[in-house]
Structure 1
Amino acid sequence: MSYRYGEYRDGPDPLAPPYDVRSALDRMGDAILSGANPGHALRDLLREGLPGAPDRRGLDELLREVRRRRRELRERGRLDGTLERARALLDKAIGQERAELFPDPSDAARMREAELDALPDDTASAIRELGDYQWYSAAARQTFEELRDLLRGEVLDSQFRGMRQALADPDPAAMEQVRRMMSDLNDMLDRDARGEHTQEDFEEFMAKYGEMFPESPRNLEELVDTLARRAAATQRLLASLTPAQREELSRLIDQTLEQAGLAEQMRRLGESLYSRRPDLAWNTPERMGGDEPMGMSDAVSALDELADLTQLEAALRQDYPGAGMDDVDEAAIRRALGRAAVDDLEALKQVERELERQGYLSRRRGKLELTPKAVRRLGETALRRVFSSLEAGRRGDHDQPDAGSAGELTGSSRPWRFGDEQPIDVVRTVVNGVRRGGGGRTGGDGKAGKVRLSVDDFEVAETERRTAAAVCLLVDLSYSMALRGTWAAAKQTALALQALVSSKFPQDAVQIIGFSNYARVLRPDELAGLEWDMVQGTNLHHALLIAGRHLDRHPDFEPVVLVVTDGEPTAHLRRNGSAAFEWPPTQETLELTLAEVDKMTRRRATLNVFMLADDERLKEFVDEVARRNGGRVFSPGADRLGEYVVSDFLRARRTR
């Protein structure tokens, strides 16, 4: 049997590598670690474009293209071109008629001139009056017919794109075909409203009248969408004219439809389209600033495209609640910017889909959240940032990808047991295999034989025993942290410490506590999306209570307590569980908070405070904390907070 291999054609290639979204997540991480929430970070990523793909445009660049296109359309011309041209043709026909009548001395000629003198000033009424006029001049008659053809073509083409070509043939049969199409279309819409329409009905309709619809709709829904958008654009055209122009053009449209025998059918169609698509901007005026007059059909096409671009601009901005990439209409992008823009949009959508599919993002109650998998990666990123700013220290201070998983090596080894995580002692393991007779003999060709190892041959390198620590990081979430610009640094520090403990000190028990008017334990998976609380109060008393319970649950662990704050305590927890806030802080608040500091001292927990403000009240308070507890006080800038906290934690771990 022979086999031929080629491209997989039955859907996505199952052997294709997964879409690489790590660079996209890292770009989002930069924004999240700077204080943004996941939803805003993803929106900013999609707006800027994909990292490592310079040929792919982001939403901002697509938005600039849409706005440029809108400016071009608005500057294309004036909307009253049909009125202007109709008036010009009418004046021409009347002038040609007068030129023929002037040399004629008969009373009939004078009567005709009097009839022309009595014509109304507005174009629509004058055309109606001349409908039954017996032209004396053949040239004037021809000009008037040209005027009628112009109006009929413009009016119908404004509703059905491409109708001017269908009406170019002067044969009355062409107009009759239009009447039959309108009647069949309205009948099909009525059947659809009753639930009786089928796709076969639509295909039969398109087989008869497909040349009148250059958009080539595939079903009735697409046909209705096309016609409704043009009908709405026609109404916007009328709304954009002056009241006098609007009245004159409306009368011209009504008159033209009546003469063509289409007034009733067009009324039925308009009502059906409006009932199906009331969401379109039917009567919203549009400002046009060009100098060249546009015909009615061209003006409607421009306004139709402008409506598309307006909706597209709103979708591309993504600045409304619940915004998502699925809101951007691919068909509208294709119509406005072409096929390349559709590919750019699909690439952006794929990033959003893959971030969710590969387990980095999830949606909960419509809100975008980072998964624990994403938080771990962002924590590693935050930790790398901190380590990149640390000076070289003793062994073990820095993140080493080839470091052992336990403590320092002692130089001795022991037999491997199931569950051991210590590194394998390769030399002793191979020597055991040779001694057992598992290999090492020289073959007939003079080459050494292979060593065969059994489970009993393996030995592991012994490492020093490390003590476990109960770590509490207390982070101020109060409104002042955002006002002073220190909130982003505090969040990045929490992520970095969480990543450090989980990766290098997995035996430690870490708890991160956020506090404002109340305190609460923060889960690792909510750290990245954490936001400051827009409330008043710095309830360090409550935070220390929670931290004390964590230390008490791990009595054999070394206690480590780190506090990051920018203000003195201004709230405490009452006996009934409610928070009491007062500024300046009351003596009761200070006494209760310091009482918890004394409890930490009795637990042998050193309490180090990282002070993010130079307030005198805060200095006095933290100095008192240091005096009672023996801990240290740091005053780092926001850009070095993570470095200070991680360095202090590592120093404390080394001393043990």
Structure 2
Amino acid sequence: MSSRYRKYDGGDPLAPPVDIAEALDAIGEDVMAGYSPERAMREFLRRGGEDRAGLDDLARRVAERRRDILQRHNLDGTLTEVRELLERAVLEERKQLARDAMMDDGDRAFREMRLDNLPDSTAAAVTELSDYDWQSSEAREAYEQIKDLLGRELLDQRFAGMKQALEGATDEDRAAIQEMLSDLNELLEKHARGEDTQQDFDDFMAKHGDFFPENPQSVDELIDAMAQRSAAAQRMLNSMTPEQRQELMELSAQAFGSPQLMEQLARMDANLQSLRPSEDWGGGESFQGDQGVGLGDGTGMLQDLAELDALADQLSQSYGGARLDDVDLDKLARQLGDQAAVDARRLQELERALRKSGAMERGFDGELRLTPKAMRQLGKALLRDVAQRLSGRQGQRELRQAGAAGDLSGATREWQFGDTEPWDIPRTMLNGVLRRAGDPSGPRLSIEDVEVAETEARTQAAVALCVDTSFSMAMDGRWVPMKRTALALHTLIGTRFRGDSLELIGFGRHAETMDIEQLTALDARWAKGTNLHHALLLANRHFRKHPNAQPVLLIVTDGEPTSHLEPNGEVFFDYPPHPMTIALAVRELDNARRLGAQTTFFRLGEDPGLARFIDSMARRADGTVIAPESDDLGAAVVGSYLGSRGPRSRFGAGSYGDFFGGRGFWVG
């Protein structure tokens, strides 16, 4: 048995499991704002959480790295190095000619003239000196370095690391490379004809495998790796200026002192391009920096840029069927470091957890939607927020008491100042015994030992929450607070007041009853009209269905009624409000009062006309007017509902400090 080990790349092994609660809260908010659940999930993954990098952050870093490569480097590194070697060779040769007193004056003059008349072009000068008989050994060595450098750079373009591996190479090494290139081209051409076998590939790798550290397992893997590098080399040439490209083409013939290397490489490039035409052979980049790079390093940068482009596409998730599992973590770690790959892996785990958690499901139409489980979880979060807001109003606190007077619920809690509930004696005494076990010298009974019994008020209510869904609600930023309010109230009634019956009624140009999933997913409606008359008709129908329950009417609106329902079922709209529209709304409000409804209006906005209308309607219904800010709407509505379940109270406009009267709630 053998084992293989590699560097651990899974991030913090002690990190807690993925927590989807934060994600679900954010997704729910976006869904209520009109996003589809799929888009809401994508948006959260893009933004990330409080302590988690998102896709946008990773994409930004990818873009920054790409920009840094282009702005820092240029592609004339090899040409500059060749030029410097040429200048050194010519300088050393001139020095030698000046020192050599034994040389014939005519021969010296001829050599100096030849050096003086070298072409301005580096490539042409190198070619001109290819048959020059160097007198200086230092000059000859510098010129030979030019040919060696060109050969190693051209090979490094196609085989990464070859420049360093062939430094100081012998003639036998160069012959081995020529043989490898010849055998490789034969294998590629045989594969193109469909005549190759696995044995051909195995024989090639057995003979030349040292040139391929990637250790491909098939000819296709070999072609894939080489075609990517060869295409990057071509893109590098495309990125050069025409002058640079011409210089390089002319110099290539001097590689290793023979044009054979370039001929074999050109043959290989042609074979690879015909086998992998889908690679990007025609692209190019604009390098603008001052740090020159050689052919091999430049080709590596073009490969890096291609990887960064692929990562940017994967991180954008903008294509059909995109999943975070598409992100190549190995490439991400190579380009941005291990921590970036860990961040992306956590996002992948989060996406899988969201899809498998039961929080989202696909409906019959194939669209992703929040499940009832997710709605309950979101509702509990909203209810906790409401509880915190209620606890801060006019010195009030979050209450665990289930009613100051009523039936025992079976639950207990720690006594707090102001509580009037009966003590739970067994729990209180047990707390004292347990405390004294750790501190025998302490008192037998302390105030922190006291627990009181919760009581439950056993009244039943029929609640109609009428929410304005006209275009002004969305236009003025009240759309999401309205939905949050409805969901919080729905969750409270569904978890703590199951005997109550809640009807959600949305009213715009016309009114309709909705379930909570329908309301939270409702897109903003831009049709004009506020049909309070139709909403009250539906609310009164709900009250009549529950004759033994206390009717509670909650109306959230930011505009006067501008439409009503005609006897034939058609909708009438007029602005300013038509007298008939007002009269019909008032008639249905009177019907609600005769049914015994406790009515609260929640007026949004500062319109004086709306304020006068709402105040007059509230007086007529013996009801209450609240004018909360949008962020406080949920606390106001829930507080009003809780107050309606206790002794009936009267409140002035803008007051909701005593809403929960004798009936509070606890959100665990």
Please list, as runs of the form range in 1=range in 2, the aligned pairs for 1:307-386 lying within 5 A after superposition. 307-313=306-312, 315-316=314-315, 324-362=323-361, 369-386=369-386
The aligned amino acid for 2:296 is S
Q: Distance in 2 between matches of 1:636 and 1:101?
A: 97
Q: Deviations over 1:623-650 (max 9, x none)?
A: 3433554433221122321121112112
Q: Distance in 2 between matches of 1:545 and 1:198?
A: 82
Displacement, 1:613?
0.6
- Residues 216, 410 of structure 1: alpha-carbon distance in 2 compared, 3 angstrom cutoff: closer
- Residues 110, 382 of structure 1: alpha-carbon distance in 2 compared, 3 angstrom cutoff: same
Q: Distance in 2 between matches of 1:518 and 1:136?
A: 98
- Residues 564, 465 of structure 1: alpha-carbon distance in 2 compared, 3 angstrom cutoff: closer
Q: Does 1:83 align with 2:100?
A: no
Please list, as runs of the form range in 1=range in 2, the aligned pairs for 1:222-261 lying within 5 A after superposition. 223=222, 226-252=225-251, 258-260=259-261, 261=263
- Residues 40, 276 of structure 1: alpha-carbon distance in 2 compared, 3 angstrom cutoff: closer
- Residues 180, 105 of structure 1: alpha-carbon distance in 2 compared, 3 angstrom cutoff: same
Q: Distance in 2 between matches of 1:617 and 1:148?
A: 90
Q: Does 1:497 align with 2:489?
A: yes
Match of 1:156 in 2: 155
Displacement, 1:371?
1.7
Match of 1:121 in 2: 120
Displacement, 1:610?
0.7
Displacement, 1:114?
6.1
Match of 1:445 in 2: none
Q: Does 1:511 align with 2:503?
A: yes
Which range moves more in the overlay, 340-349 or 307-316?
A: 307-316
Displacement, 1:372?
1.2
Residue 645 of structure 2 aligns to a residue whose secondary structure is helix
The aligned amino acid for 1:151 is L
Match of 1:427 in 2: none
Q: Deviations over 1:172-210 (max 9, x none)?
A: 32222341354156337636xx6x888777666544444
Residue 559 of structure 2 aligns to a residue whose secondary structure is coil
Q: Distance in 2 between matches of 1:77 and 1:383?
A: 56
Q: Distance in 2 between matches of 1:184 and 1:606?
A: 92
Q: Deviations over 1:209-232 (max 9, x none)?
A: 443333445666665554444344
Q: Distance in 1 between matches of 2:368 and 2:347?
A: 16
Q: Distance in 1 between matches of 2:278 and 2:490?
A: 55
Q: Deviations over 1:324-377 (max 9, x none)?
A: 423422121121234443333222211221122121234567865322111101
Q: Distance in 2 between matches of 1:366 and 1:248?
A: 59
- Residues 258, 251 of structure 1: alpha-carbon distance in 2 compared, 3 angstrom cutoff: same
- Residues 155, 273 of structure 1: alpha-carbon distance in 2 compared, 3 angstrom cutoff: farther
Displacement, 1:270?
5.0
8 Å CA contact 1:370, 1:526 repeated in 2: no
Match of 2:390 in 1: 390
The aligned amino acid for 2:22 is A
Q: Does 1:187 align with 2:183?
A: no
8 Å CA contact 2:534, 2:565 repeated in 1: yes
Identify which of 437, 442, 464 aligns with 1:472: 464
Identify which of 267, 275, 278 aligns with 1:276: 278
Q: Does 1:143 align with 2:139?
A: no
Q: Distance in 2 between matches of 1:321 and 1:609?
A: 47
The aligned amino acid for 2:156 is D
Residue 74 of structure 2 aligns to a residue whose secondary structure is coil
Q: Distance in 1 between matches of 2:216 and 2:517?
A: 48
Q: Deviations over 1:244-279 (max 9, x none)?
A: 33443355458859541225423424524762234x
Q: How many pairs does the alignment contain? A: 578
Which range moves more in the overlay, 259-268 or 155-164?
A: 259-268
Please list, as runs of the form range in 1=range in 2, the aligned pairs for 1:195-214 lying within 5 A after superposition. 206-214=205-213
8 Å CA contact 2:23, 2:49 repeated in 1: no
8 Å CA contact 2:31, 2:521 repeated in 1: no
Q: Does 1:409 align with 2:407?
A: yes
Q: Distance in 2 between matches of 1:221 and 1:599?
A: 81
Residue 602 of structure 2 aligns to a residue whose secondary structure is strand
TM-score (norm 1): 0.72
Match of 2:19 in 1: 21
Residue 485 of structure 2 aligns to a residue whose secondary structure is helix
Q: Deviations over 1:265-317 (max 9, x none)?
A: 23424524762234x9x52424443x332212112223322343344356446
8 Å CA contact 1:375, 1:527 repeated in 2: no
Identify which of 179, 189, 194 aligns with 1:177: 179
Q: Distance in 2 between matches of 1:98 and 1:576?
A: 109
Q: Distance in 1 between matches of 2:591 and 2:208?
A: 88
Residue 151 of structure 1 aligns to a residue whose secondary structure is helix
Identify which of 601, 618, 634 aligns with 1:642: 634
- Residues 272, 166 of structure 1: alpha-carbon distance in 2 compared, 3 angstrom cutoff: farther
Identify which of 611, 616, 621 aligns with 2:613: 621
Q: Distance in 2 between matches of 1:150 and 1:58?
A: 45
- Residues 126, 350 of structure 1: alpha-carbon distance in 2 compared, 3 angstrom cutoff: same
- Residues 148, 655 of structure 1: alpha-carbon distance in 2 compared, 3 angstrom cutoff: same
Displacement, 1:493?
0.9
Q: Distance in 2 between matches of 1:183 and 1:588?
A: 90
The aligned amino acid for 2:143 is F
Q: Distance in 2 between matches of 1:517 and 1:181?
A: 79
8 Å CA contact 1:468, 1:507 repeated in 2: yes
8 Å CA contact 2:615, 2:625 repeated in 1: yes
8 Å CA contact 2:182, 2:264 repeated in 1: no
Residue 512 of structure 1 aligns to a residue whose secondary structure is strand
The aligned amino acid for 2:372 is P
- Residues 487, 262 of structure 1: alpha-carbon distance in 2 compared, 3 angstrom cutoff: same
Q: Distance in 2 between matches of 1:119 and 1:474?
A: 92
The aligned amino acid for 2:646 is R
Residue 383 of structure 2 aligns to a residue whose secondary structure is helix
The aligned amino acid for 2:375 is V
- Residues 160, 391 of structure 1: alpha-carbon distance in 2 compared, 3 angstrom cutoff: closer
Q: Deviations over 1:455-495 (max 9, x none)?
A: xxxxxxx99864352x3322233443344333332222111
8 Å CA contact 2:504, 2:513 repeated in 1: yes
TM-score (norm 2): 0.71
Identity %: 40
8 Å CA contact 2:32, 2:520 repeated in 1: no
Q: Distance in 2 between matches of 1:184 and 1:514?
A: 75
Residue 569 of structure 1 aligns to a residue whose secondary structure is coil
In structure 2, runs of 5+ residues without a counterpart are 1-15, 410-454, 649-668
Which range moves more in the overlay, 353-362 or 248-257?
A: 248-257
Q: Distance in 2 between matches of 1:137 and 1:580?
A: 106
Residue 390 of structure 1 aligns to a residue whose secondary structure is helix
- Residues 392, 24 of structure 1: alpha-carbon distance in 2 compared, 3 angstrom cutoff: closer
- Residues 368, 64 of structure 1: alpha-carbon distance in 2 compared, 3 angstrom cutoff: same
Displacement, 1:497?
0.4
8 Å CA contact 2:85, 2:143 repeated in 1: yes
8 Å CA contact 1:167, 1:174 repeated in 2: no
The aligned amino acid for 2:278 is R
Q: Does 1:564 align with 2:556?
A: yes
Displacement, 1:42?
4.3
8 Å CA contact 1:155, 1:297 repeated in 2: yes
In structure 1, runs of 5+ residues without a counterpart are 1-17, 412-461
